[in-house]
Structure 1
Amino acid sequence: MVQIINLEQEHLIAAKISGKLTEKDMEKMHPLIHNIIEKGHKVDFYFEMEDFKGYTLKGFWEDLKIDSAHLGDYGKMAFVGNKKWQEWAAKATDFFIKSEVKFFDISEKQQAQNWIKS
């Protein structure tokens, strides 16, 4: 599930994610991305992962399609979680996307919010 949260930055998509992300969850994100791009900004992301279990197959496919269509449109990405595999996923994202990507432990949530806003 994706729950959009407001960190009061017009170029930032901030969300709490939990469970398994579905195709519908990813479809919610796409118009948000377009709204920011249309205003002439790169899109920054803040993802707070709580009890996040990954993606459904269709959700993963939809995320890949969106990301491949917008590779040059992304700015910074902050991933906040408490699992080692989430840190590895953030590092893999950093490898494939031309953005600055950082993983923060859940205890560093405020530091992550400060970093994404800077």
Structure 2
Amino acid sequence: MNALRHGFSIGIERVSDEFFLTLKAKGKLTHSDYLAITPVIDSALSEVKQPKIKALFDATELEGWELSAAWDDFKLGLKHGNQFVKIALYGNKGWQETATKLGRWFVAGEIKFFENEDDALTWLHQ
């Protein structure tokens, strides 16, 4: 049996009002994936008055989104976009770099695309 794997892995570290969020997306994301991840992110950020988030988004295994999942992603970005200080998108496809540029319209902090994970982490911790 060849099961299609998709979804998110998430890690959240908190030091005072600063968060370091790591997300790894796999496969083609669905609305159900966002139903699972959104409450986790909302809950982690709800206790802090003005969280400052640095995020590493590993998209190396991301194949894309279903239309409803793309809408969920957009809504999540609008809801928390002003809380992000830096987002490093680590990927390996040209469309991911384009998506990073589009994301700059919806996030208050800096967003940058990287093809090397170490470079992404170095930039996040500067």
TM-score bucket (shorter structure): 0.7 to 0.9
Percent identity at matched positions? 31
1:39 to 44, 48, 53: 48
How far has the Cα of 1:72 moved from its partner?
Answer: 1.9
What residue is the counterpart of 1:60 in the other structure? 70
Kept in 1, the 8 Å contact 2:31–2:68? The answer is yes
Deviates more, 1:85-94 or 1:39-48: 39-48
1:54-73 CA distance string (max 9 Å, x none): 11112112112222222322
Measured in 1, the distance between the counterparts of 2:105 and 2:75 equals 17
1:21 to 29, 34, 40: 29
Unaligned stretches of 5+ residues in structure 2: 1-6
> How many residues are matched?
114
How far has the Cα of 1:21 moved from its partner?
Answer: 1.2
Distance 1:33 1:117, change over 3 A: farther
1:12-59 CA distance string (max 9 Å, x none): 220211211112222333233331352231232211112311111121
- Which structure 2 residues correspond to residues 1-118 of structure 1 after superposition, within 5 A? 1-5=7-11, 9-10=13-14, 11-34=19-42, 35-40=44-49, 41-105=51-115, 108-118=116-126
Kept in 1, the 8 Å contact 2:10–2:21? The answer is yes
- Provide the TM-score with structure 1 as the length reference: 0.81
1:73-113 CA distance string (max 9 Å, x none): 222111001111111111111133222001000xx211212
Kept in 2, the 8 Å contact 1:80–1:103? The answer is yes
Structure whose alpha-carbon radius of gyration is higher = 2
Q: CA RMSD in A?
A: 1.9
Kept in 1, the 8 Å contact 2:29–2:69? The answer is yes
- Provide the TM-score with structure 2 as the length reference: 0.77
Measured in 2, the distance between the counterparts of 1:27 and 1:43 equals 21
Unaligned stretches of 5+ residues in structure 1: none
User: What SS does the corresponding residue of 2:100 show, helix, strand or coil?
Assistant: helix
